Amino acid sequence: MKVLQVGAEVFPLIKTGGLADVMDALPQALRAQGADVRLLLPGLPAILDAVLHAKCVKRIGPVFGAGQVKLLLGQTPFSQLPVYVIDAPFLFRRDGGPYQDRNGAEWPDNLQRFGLLGWVAAQLAQGELVADWAPDVLHAHDWHAAMSCAYLHAHPGGDVASVFTVHNLAYQGLFPSADCALLGLSSRYMSPSSLEFHGQVSFMKAGLKFADRVTTVSPTYAREMATPEFGAGLEGVIRGRGGEVSGILNGIDTLVWNPATDSALAQRYSADQLQGKALCKAALQARFGLTPDPEAPLLAQVSRLASQKGLDLLLSVVPEIVRMGGQLVVQGTGDPALEAAFRKAESAHPGRVGVRLKYDETGAHRTIAGADMMLMPSRFEPCGLTQMYGLRYGSVPIVRRVGGLADTVRDAGSVVDFKSDGNGFVFDQPQAQQLQDTIARAFAAYRQPQAWSLLMRSGMQQDLSWDGPARQYMMLYERVSSEKRATEFRETD
């Protein structure tokens, strides 16, 4: 089974969220299952600088206003996976992030930038760019790669099948309708039955409409996406695909995320040898300027600071966390208003609340290892990886019952009604009082060492690896590829 994985970022070369982790770990897990996997990435500076042994395999020429475009083939630096890179200096070689400039403004030519990514993916999949390799399945990740499904649809032929994965439906890749002509598609694609979405062009809709199969990153989110509450206006399109939409829960890279071998930690530890976690907690308190207090339950929030994450609920209960004897650390960056609000909370509660407003991968490992509990009071959460990292590191998650949080965290009840199969604490409604009550339950359990040790070990002993999800993807690839070949045979017979 030959699979082309298409995305805009990959850990550790460039990362803005969980997509990069998936683009790194899933291909490796598929390779372990016997798949012949290659990646396709945009030629962003961090990617071009890191790819090994890159050589030009095709001079594409001037497309999408990009001047001279070349397709390179090299290897990822750590996993040695084959990777195609689109070298389009005018579109990709620039300072700033993959989607925004240094001031946080969207790049004005993102339609061309990610239109090119999708077009090259389709051309490569159909054997138009290189002669010695073509995939059985093109797997496009999120809106940045979604146009590949539309380009395959616009130029049918061949038996390559397409799978499109929604990582977060809230980010859709919307552009002015007048720019549709820049994509080089027939005008019929700018219609409500195609790419048009409330007068705009929607890249996300391209994947939802034209992929042979649509997946998302958890079974619960697959169901939620078909509802008005979570569908972001695309719920009708998703319901229209019926059984062709499914959810496969993400895994985590259990080699990167392993407290027994993690060199970033003040002290390594495991489910059988938990003593080192106390040293990690002390180091975290010192790093965030908190009062040294081994008995205080220490909560952590590690995420983008965005309204999606339910951080308004957390801000509402900070005084109660402190009143109940807890401490809180927050690591992340994002919405300036939320950043200011957490800075204010830090000033109001010195020694009890600590804030670091920056992206820091090593710091994330240290924070998750040192925390007693991970907070994820999300309004929606397609999968969530932080709660899985918390489980892996014995940092008990406190989450809202949505998306992948519902699929990974089992409520432990209360001290008087303790559920031995629990691994965390769960609440249902996005209300500050429910979050506060759930934190209080967690604090009560924390003060019962035997129950807390059971909770920690329950999470640390879970299989959170990519092995199971990779098997599910392989079965999906086999099924959709077989169906595609059968359809092509009937049409040519």
Please state whether beta strands 68-75 and 82-87 pair in parallel, antiparallel, or not at all (unpaired): antiparallel
Query: Could you give the C-alpha distances from 62 to 178, 393, 465, in angstroms and in order?
Result: 21, 49, 42
CA separation for the pair 199, 176 (Å, rounded)? 8
What is the C-alpha to C-alpha distance for residues 102 and 111, in angstroms, rounded to an integer? 19
* Residue 443 vs residues 77, 327, 372, 447, 452: alpha-carbon distances, Å: 43, 11, 10, 6, 10
Q: How confident is the model at residue 109 (pLDDT cuts 50, 70, 90)?
A: very high
Distance in angstroms (rounded) separating the CA atoms of residues 234 and 214: 13
* Angle between helical axes of 432-446 and 311-323 (0-180°, round to 10): 40
Location of structure tokens 């020694």: 351
Query: What pLDDT score does 490 carry?
Result: 54
The conformational region for residue 376 under phi > 0 = left, psi -120 to 50 = alpha, else beta, is: beta
Residue 401 pLDDT > 80 = yes
- Residues 179-209: tens digit of each pLDDT: 999 999 998 999 999 999 999 999 999 999 9
CATH 3.40.50.2000 fits 2-251+466-492, yes or no: yes
Confidence of residue 155 (pLDDT cuts 50, 70, 90): confident
Interval 464-474: pLDDT, tens: 999 999 999 99
Mean pLDDT, residues 236-263 taken together: 97
Q: Which of 94, 98, 76 is nearest to 85 (CA)?
A: 76
- Which pair of tokens denotes residue 168? 């977060």
The type of residue at 342 is: F
Confidence (pLDDT) at 106? 94
The mean pLDDT of 329-352, rounded to a whole number, is 97
- In the structure, what pLDDT confidence band is assigned to residue 158 with cuts at 50, 70 and 90? confident
Write out pLDDT tens, residues 414-451: 876 877 789 999 999 999 999 999 999 999 999 999 99
Lowest mean pLDDT among 47-56, 308-317, 452-461, 481-490: 481-490
pLDDT > 90 fraction of the chain, expressed in percent and rounded: 91
Q: How confident is the model at residue 488 (pLDDT cuts 50, 70, 90)?
A: low
Q: For residue 295, how far is the Cα from the chain centroid?
A: 34
Q: What is the mean pLDDT of the chain?
A: 95
Which pLDDT does position 396 carry in this prediction?
98
Average pLDDT in the 361-384 region?
97
Give one word for 403, left, alpha or beta, with left for phi > 0 and alpha for psi -120 to 50.
left
User: How much of the chain exceeds pLDDT 70, in percent?
Assistant: 99
Q: 275-460, which class in CATH?
A: alpha beta
Spell out the domain ranges in the chain.
2-251+466-492, 275-460
Given a cut of 80, whether residue 489 has pLDDT beyond it is no
pLDDT bracket for residue 284 (50, 70, 90): very high
- Tell me whether the CATH fold assigned to 2-251+466-492 matches the one assigned to 275-460: yes
Q: Rounded distance, CA 204 to CA 258, Å?
A: 34
How far apart CA 157 and CA 160 sit, in angstroms, is: 8
Distance CA 288, CA 356 (A): 8
- Take residue 262 and report the two structure tokens written for it: 């993690």
Q: What is the pLDDT of residue 491?
A: 55
Q: How far is CA 444 from the centre of its chain?
A: 32
State the pLDDT at residue 485. 83
* Amino acid occupying residue 26: L
User: Tokens 């976690």 correspond to what residue?
Assistant: 277
The pTM assigned to this predicted structure is 0.94
